[in-house]
Each structure stands twice: as C-alpha cells, then as structure tokens.
Amino acid sequence: MNEIINKKVEFRDLGLLDYQAAWDYQEKLFAETVALKISNRTLDPADQSPSNNYMLFVEHPHVFTLGKSGKEENLLLDEQGLEKHQALYYKINRGGDITYHGPGQLVGYPILDLDNFFTDIHKYLRLLEEAIILTLADYGVVAGRIEGLTGVWLDHLEQKNPRKICAMGVKSSRWVTMHGFAFNVNADISYFGHIIPCGIDDKAVTSLHLELGKPVNMEHVKARVKQHLIELFEMERIELI
C-alpha cells in the first residue's frame, strides 16, 4: 500500500467518443497508475509520489462489448447485421458478459487506485451501484439490486417485471480499477434486442427516459452521479476538466 494517500479525483468528460479511443485512453491512465505504484515500492516513503485517480464520463457510438467470461453466441448479429445497424463489436478485458453502449447512455470509467480509498472490490462495485441508485431516486425512480446479479435494477423487490437500467463490468490489478458502469439515460434500448444482455435472457432492459416518459437532461444526470460518487467514496478534492 502507498504511504501517500490521495483522494483527489479528476473528472474528465470525453463527450461522444469511439469505443476503441476511449479504451486506449483508459489503458494509458491505468498503465501509468500501475507503473507508479510499482516504482513506489522501490523508494523510501519520503520519495514516493501519490497515485492519481480519474473518473471518465463518455458516450459511445453504437458498440457491443464482450467480457472475458462472456459467450460469443450472446451476440445475435453477424458481420452484415453489425454493419446494417452501424455497430462495432469488441472483445475486451473486463469481467462480465456482453453489453451494449450507445448514444444516450452515460458510461463511467473510474481509474481509481483503491489503496487511496479501500481495498475491497465488492464494496467498490456496491458503491458504484449505489451512486446510480441515489441518482435514480433524485428523479423519483425506485431502484436497487437483485441478489446474485450485478448492476442496478427496477422492480427489484417484487420482480414482476424486473429490468436493468445500469450494467457493471470492471477490471482491477494491484488495486487499480478500469472499465465501470453503463447507465441508460436516453438510450435506444432496441439495440439490446441484438444481444442476450449480460447473458441474462429472462429479464428486460430499460432507460431512464422511458421510465419518466420524456427525454432527460444528460448534463443534469452527470452532475448528480458525480455528486453521489464524491460523497460515497469520500473524495476530497475534485477537479472538473
């Protein structure tokens, strides 16, 4: 563990960005953070540098991504189908199965050194979920968790019509995280019909605008998610870039 604790997080809004470009950027920040931690181990505490923390917000053009534990057959489109729907497909290094990203979906990529906060991946995932649950509550939408499943769900208690509104998939090495959450705000959920989302074929997917019956201001949603993340993770200094 680093001797120097740094709870400062830089929030960076990348706008609408190609998935590969965002992935490359994540990998760069992730690799720099891990390399710094390895370097610090060779230094006296007085000579160590604090590791940085980042929270990237982004929207992607239509894309399907398959995690390490996923099954390719959960993508229901062939190459022609992908081209018809103007969608790309990537196999990536996060946990989880297949999911969809697209315009109107707020994707959050935390590159956090959990040594600066807490070294508990289970807690980390639950706090990411909690930030979305609290944001939904700000809009009068009740959401929660379903035992045995990741992400944030509506109708999570009675489960008469359970539907996922936010998916999770993360990677961690040396307590540094990457990948994160995908929150459907104004998303075109018809694209989820081209996959078996997260390998779950008996539950639906929804978007905040569908639940409210009107389009949602994405900038307002970002502001609420940011504030909840700040409070839940007890982030000390925040730079909005």
What pLDDT is attached to residue 139?
Answer: 98
What pLDDT is attached to residue 80?
Answer: 95
What pLDDT is attached to residue 1?
Answer: 45
What pLDDT is attached to residue 199?
Answer: 61
Asked whether the beta carbons of 184 and 211 are under 8 A apart, the reply is no
Task: Work out the average pLDDT over 94-119.
Answer: 93
Q: Which CATH number fits the domain 9-235, given the four candidates 3.50.50.60, 3.20.20.60, 3.30.930.10, 3.30.110.30? A: 3.30.930.10
Alpha carbon of residue 48 to chain centroid: 30
- The lowest-confidence range among 28-37, 68-77, 158-167 is 68-77
Catalytic residue positions, numbered: 198
Tell me the pLDDT tens digit for each residue of 194-232.
Answer: 998 666 666 799 999 999 999 999 999 999 999 999 999
Q: Domain boundaries in the chain?
A: 9-235
Asked whether the beta carbons of 53 and 9 are under 8 A apart, the reply is yes
Alpha carbon of residue 186 to chain centroid: 16
